[in-house]
A and B are shown apart, each in its own frame.
Chain A
Amino acid sequence: MTDYLSVVLDELVPECVDEEGDWGRVVADAGGETPAMTAEEWALDGASTSTVSRERRSRSQRRWLTRRRLVVIGLSAALAALLVTPAFGIGGRLLDLIEDEPARRPEVRISSWSLDGRRIAFVSRRDRGNWELSVVNADGSGQQKLASVAGNATPAWSPDGRRVAFEGPRDGEHDGLYVMNADGSGQRKLARRAHAPAWSPDGRRIAFIWGHKLYVMNADGTERRTVQKSHGGGSLRWSPDGRKLVFLSAGEGCNTCFTFHVVNTDGSAPQSMSVGVAGAREGSHWWEQAPVSDPSWSPDGRRIAFARLNDHGGIYVVNADLSGLRRLARTSSGSYAAPAWSPDGGKIAFGFDRDDNSEVFVMKADGSGLRNLTRNPASDADPSWSLDGRKLAFVSDRDGDLDVYVMNADGGGQRRLTRLK
């Protein structure tokens, strides 16, 4: 090629040398796991000086990551109290990371309870087929498929429970953000590309993340605007008063950090809490090293709970202004996931896995009164409160395959609702 032609061609396309991409988001969207940089010790203030060694995740860790990826987050009690309809309440629960690996057994995760407590929405798939959003009555009857959805994003229910926003299957034809009625009718595409949709508590807006930006648009897809630039991100949640959004992203300007963001929905007053992982390998990603996840607003909007997955993790609570960080539940080993506030704000349910045995636990919001609700050698995970706080839906494989179960808030009356195989 002539030098002159080479120069011309060079000028036609910008150099991209400053671009680094976002491997963590690739992993998240792929739903795959990658051999992880596992922090042997990790401090939220970044002060830890422990080294991080590159190691394969143990089987237990991998299993737990998978379970965690099944998890979606809690319900909005305040709105639930206001709205009593047979439709579905806010499905703020989200799973940004979901395995997408060969599997013959059904895979399932809870999406949301209906506002009247009579139905439970869940996402499942069989034989590596499409992920499907379905509903089942709380007595196990009336199981019904609503739509095919992306496997790595949990549908978001409107506060009145009459509509659901979801990410379509990434098959090249149905990519994008859709909204449909709660019975599966009236499906409409609102955005070509979107991830982690979250419905505002007033039902008027939908927030989502795509590329390197956090967006908010009207619930009909109009007036989309950028709230904040981000380094990818996920786990997007509205505060109960609809004034703030919280999400997680890669550490900004730091390859070995992750960042917690809280921002007003108009983009003002952005706050962030970056957490370093001392000794981490440069170039590795926050998601690999500090897999913190599942932020969940307390019903009064004053606090945010989140989980750290790996060993030495725990359930953490931080004030809405990102002050006052506290670790409520901690053990010398094991992995935590999916904290879910009870509708009255008095308790937090979560999943905990140790020695290949995951259980659903509950504790008071101050960290006291820890109780194992499931006590079963099978996998029990993904707790989700009913809006009256009297029941918890969860996922278990105690009968062979993963299915949706329900139990009383005290752990009694555990029974299976679905038969997905």
Chain B
Amino acid sequence: MTQPQRNSAETNSIVDIEAIYREQYSRLLRFAVANLGDVERGRDAVHEAFVRAIRSVSDFRGQGRLESWLWRILVNVCMAEKRRRVVPTEGWLLQTSTDDPPEWPEIREAIASLPERQRTTLFLRHYADLDYDQIGAVLGVARGTVAATLNTAHTRLRSVLGEVKR
């Protein structure tokens, strides 16, 4: 087999990708689990995202942060996975074990009913713990847009939560 050569920038990027994988795997997984509603599917998504990242490392041309690029790939993988499958509304977000009664069904339903952009933003903020700038870089929007999107999502969820508490 021929040996295509990576240039030094690509090689260094792979080293950095590995570092991100090791340092942030749990955050990446938690985001994917929230997004896909299933731990195993979440693992598959994170795995697939990094496989794609390595394969297309030459496409990363240093614009923006590598970390944001990786998160973007994971977001895309999750979205593609959801498009490929019909995800029942009740299975959204959390696929608790069948032994456990579902928790906060109203919140889950509310999250499920959020527009995709709001939901993804919420997950990136809450489960991935990314700051507004990082989320903006991942989703390709301005910091202010992230703040507004999150505010809308929070308002909706607070409303539901308030109803639950009553």
> A residues bordering B, Cβ < 8 Å?
1-2, 4-6, 8-9, 11-23, 25-27, 29-35, 56, 59, 62-63, 66-67, 69-70, 99-103, 105, 107-109, 170, 172-173, 193, 211, 283, 379, 381, 395, 397, 402
Chain A contacts for B124, CB-based, 8 A = none
Q: Is B142 an interface residue (CB 8 A)?
A: no
A30-B54 in contact (CB<8A): yes
Q: What's the least CB distance linking B14 to chain A, in Å?
A: 5
B1-A402 in contact (CB<8A): yes
Contact check: which of B40, B47, B108, B161 meets A5 at CB < 8 Å?
A: B161
A16-B108 in contact (CB<8A): no
Residue-wise interface mask of B (140-166) relative to A, using a CB-CB cutoff of 8 A (1 in contact, 0 not): 000000000010001001100100010
Chain B contacts for A109, CB-based, 8 A = 1
B1-A26 in contact (CB<8A): no
Q: A35-B14, A66-B1, A70-B1 are in contact. Are A19 and B6 (CB under 8 A)?
A: no
20 contacts between A and B (CB under 8 A): A1-B150, A5-B161, A8-B107, A8-B161, A9-B157, A13-B93, A13-B127, A16-B25, A16-B27, A20-B25, A21-B25, A21-B43, A29-B47, A33-B6, A34-B18, A70-B1, A103-B4, A172-B80, A211-B40, A211-B44
B104-A16 in contact (CB<8A): no
Stretch from B29-37, B61-69, B130-138 that touches the partner: B29-37
A165 to B51, CA, bound (A): 23
A9-B126 in contact (CB<8A): yes
Per CB-CB distance, the 9 closest pairs between chain A and chain B, nearest first, are: A30-B54, A101-B4, A32-B54, A21-B25, A16-B29, A16-B26, A63-B3, A30-B51, A70-B1
A273 to B109, CA, bound (A): 49
Residue-wise interface mask of B (78-109) relative to A, using a CB-CB cutoff of 8 A (1 in contact, 0 not): 00100010000000011000000001100110
A32-B57, A99-B1 known; 20 new pairs, CB 8 Å cut-off, are A2-B161, A4-B161, A4-B165, A5-B157, A12-B93, A12-B111, A13-B94, A16-B29, A16-B33, A26-B21, A30-B52, A30-B54, A32-B55, A56-B11, A62-B3, A62-B5, A69-B1, A100-B55, A102-B58, A402-B1
Chain B contacts for A6, CB-based, 8 A = 126
Closest to B126 in A: A9
Contact check: which of B2, B26, B54 meets A105 at CB < 8 Å?
A: B2
Contact check: which of A21, A107, A170 meets B29 at CB < 8 Å?
A: A21
A19-B1 in contact (CB<8A): no
Chain B contacts for A103, CB-based, 8 A = 2, 4
A283-B22 in contact (CB<8A): yes
Contact check: which of B27, B55, B111 meets A30 at CB < 8 Å?
A: B55
A26-B51 in contact (CB<8A): yes
B1-A107 in contact (CB<8A): yes
Q: What's the least CB distance linking A64 to chain B, in Å?
A: 9
A101 to B29, CA, bound (A): 27
A100 to B58, CA, bound (A): 12
Q: What's the least CB distance linking B21 to chain A, in Å?
A: 5
Q: Classify the secondary structure of A's interface with B.
A: loop
B1-A395 in contact (CB<8A): yes
Q: What's the least CB distance linking B61 to chain A, in Å?
A: 14
Chain A contacts for B73, CB-based, 8 A = none
Chain A contacts for B103, CB-based, 8 A = 11-12
Q: What's the least CB distance linking A229 to chain B, in Å?
A: 13
Q: Is B114 an interface residue (CB 8 A)?
A: no
A21-B154 in contact (CB<8A): no
Chain A contacts for B40, CB-based, 8 A = 211
Q: What's the least CB distance linking B127 to chain A, in Å?
A: 6
Chain B contacts for A379, CB-based, 8 A = 1
Q: What's the least CB distance linking B84 to chain A, in Å?
A: 7
Chain A contacts for B94, CB-based, 8 A = 12-13
A8 to B93, CA, bound (A): 13
Closest to B106 in A: A8
Q: What's the least CB distance linking B40 to chain A, in Å?
A: 6
Residue-wise interface mask of B (106-122) relative to A, using a CB-CB cutoff of 8 A (1 in contact, 0 not): 01100100000000000
Q: A1-B126, A9-B126 are in contact. Are A21 and B46 (CB under 8 A)?
A: yes
A29 to B49, CA, bound (A): 11
Q: A2-B158, A107-B2 are in contact. Are A34 and B14 (CB under 8 A)?
A: yes
Chain B contacts for A402, CB-based, 8 A = 1-2
Q: What's the least CB distance linking A131 to chain B, in Å?
A: 12
A34-B33 in contact (CB<8A): no
B43-A35 in contact (CB<8A): no
Chain A contacts for B48, CB-based, 8 A = 170
A188 to B36, CA, bound (A): 27
A18 to B51, CA, bound (A): 21
Q: Is B71 an interface residue (CB 8 A)?
A: no
Q: Is B9 an interface residue (CB 8 A)?
A: no
B2-A397 in contact (CB<8A): yes
Chain B contacts for A16, CB-based, 8 A = 25-27, 29-30, 33
Chain B contacts for A21, CB-based, 8 A = 21-22, 25, 29, 43, 46-47
A5-B44 in contact (CB<8A): no
Contact check: which of A23, A31, A33, A100 meets B22 at CB < 8 Å?
A: A23
A37 to B33, CA, bound (A): 32
A402 to B4, CA, bound (A): 13
Q: What's the least CB distance linking A143 to chain B, in Å?
A: 19
